[in-house]
Amino acid sequence: MLIDGCGRRIDYLRLSVTDRCDLRCAYCMPPEFDSYEIPDNWLSFSEIVRICRIFIDLGVSRVRLTGGEPLVRSRIGDLVQDVGQLPGLNDLSLSTNGTRLTQFASKLLASGVTRLNVSLDTLSPVRFLTLTRRDALHDVLAGLEVARESGFRLIKINMVWLPEFNGDELDAMIKYCMERNFVLRLIENMPMGDSARQLGSSSLQPLIGQLRERFHLVDHIVAGGGPARYLGTPDRSFSVGFITPMSQHFCEACNRVRVSVTGRLHLCLGQNDHLELLPMLRGGSPDHEIANQIRAAVMQKPLSHEFQKNPMKVVRIMASTGG
Ligand code: SAM
Ligand code: SF4
């Protein structure tokens, strides 16, 4: 078992397969961003599989592939297949912006991905273009339809809550998700990098009570083991989750660590503590030595982020971290 210094069990790895993306969501990547990692420093597929295997041996049972946009990495289907075959992995999921889902949905499912998280902040093509700088809403919606028909166990829609931008679309988004059996998740914007900070963050707390009353929602538990608090209809036909790192964090129950595309093990989304895995992977370290280093690093996992207390602390953007 992988246990941190605060006694939290770490059983969930989020691994970024690329820091590149075909969108430029304003809360994630600055429009002019081009400080990408060079390909020589990207983890190879065999290094990614090796890292996953070491973490599984340490007690991790769930892996999420993310980015950047994971589906822009070439031959991503082959990687997903290799990770999906690892013994001891109970849950393989993927986060995507959905632009390439039409092409990849069935391959992902066949490779063992059972749960998808898809970013969708607006249903308006004009707003989508404004927020992401690409006219791609149609591709995302088409991809979501293909994914739904393919038979994923669970599809979650991630909507970053920016009330001045998409607040008036909440009812439309609820309807969209209800009709398709998608779980909606509202996320408070986190101050990661300057572009996210400039947008500010609005608390979801008032909305939780309002939605509970308006739709007669009750507490729900939804698969995924993440920090979201869920409400839903009594017949369980619809659930909505609230990810509230700013207004009410769940750090005491944190169960995850992240690995970037360059093999940097981030111990906390909102802190800078990390361990570089690449030099060990490429320097001939055996698995047990890497495992020991990971175990030692996890012991130092910070108790919590400091997004409120110290919002300038994290300069790296979400796409580089592996969100
Ligand atoms: N490209 C994929 C996507 O968009 O789902 C995966 C990577 S993206 C970084 C993962 C998640 O992080 C998305 O749901 C996105 O909305 C979220 N995200 C990015 N920047 C954020 C921020 N500053 N605050 C909160 N969530 C953020
Ligand atoms: Fe790309 Fe996802 Fe970041 Fe949007 S949130 S810019 S889709 S990595």
Q: Please tell me the distance between residue 94's alpha carbon and the centre of ligand 2 in angstroms.
A: 13
Whether domain 12-321 has CATH 3.20.20.70: the reply is yes
Q: Is the pTM of this model over 0.85?
A: yes
**Residues framing ligand 1 (Cβ under 6 A):** 21, 27-28, 66-67, 69, 95-97, 119, 158, 160, 187, 189-190, 192, 196, 318-319, 323
Residues 61-112 pLDDT 10s: 999 999 999 999 999 999 999 999 999 999 999 999 999 999 999 999 999 9
In SS3 terms, the chain reads as CCECCCCCECCEEEEECCCCCCCCCCCCCCCCCCCCCCHHHCCCHHHHHHHHHHHHHHCCCEEEEECCCHHHCCCHHHHHHHHHCCCCCCEEEEEECCCCHHHHHHHHHHCCEEEEEEECCCCCHHHHHHHHCCCCHHHHHHHHHHHHHHCCCEEEEEEEECHHHHHHHHHHHHHHHHHHCCEEEEEECCCCHHHHHHHCCCCCHHHHHHHHHHCCCEEECCCCCCCCEEEECCCCCCEEEEECCCCCCCHHHCCEEEECCCCEEECCCCCCCEEECHHHHHCCCCHHHHHHHHHHHHHCCCCCCCCCCCCCCCCCCHHHHCC
pLDDT at 321: 79
- Closest ligand 2 atom number to CA of residue 99: 7
pLDDT (tens digit, 9 = 90+) per residue, 224-274? Answer: 757 788 999 999 889 999 999 999 888 888 999 999 999 999 999 888 889
What confidence tens digit (pLDDT) does each residue in 265-316 have? Answer: 999 988 888 999 999 999 999 999 999 999 999 999 988 887 777 777 666 7
Q: Which residue from 14, 20, 25 has its CB within 8 A of the most atoms of ligand 2, so it is best to mutate? A: 25
Q: Say yes or no: CB of residue 98 within 6 Å of ligand 2.
A: no
* CB-ligand 2 contact for 184 (6 Å cutoff): no
The closest residue, in CA terms, to atom 20 on ligand 1 is 28
Report which ligand 1 atom has the smallest distance to the Cα of 158: 14
Show Cβ contacts of residue 201 under 8 Å, excluding neighbours closer than 6 positions.
188, 189, 190, 191, 246
| Ligand 1 centroid from CA 286, angstroms | 34
Domain map of the chain by residue range?
A: 12-321
* Nearest-ligand number for the alpha carbon of 27: 1
Q: What is the structure's pLDDT at 121? A: 98
Model confidence over 5-51: pLDDT tens digits? 999 999 999 999 999 999 999 999 988 888 899 999 999 999 999 99
Per-residue pLDDT at 110: 96
Give the least confident one: 54-58, 197-201, 269-273.
269-273
pLDDT at 314: 66
Quote the pLDDT of residue 307.
79
Give residue-wise pLDDT tens across range 121-150: 999 999 999 999 999 999 999 999 999 999
Which amino acid is it at 4? D
Residue 25 Cβ inside 6 Å of ligand 2? The answer reads yes
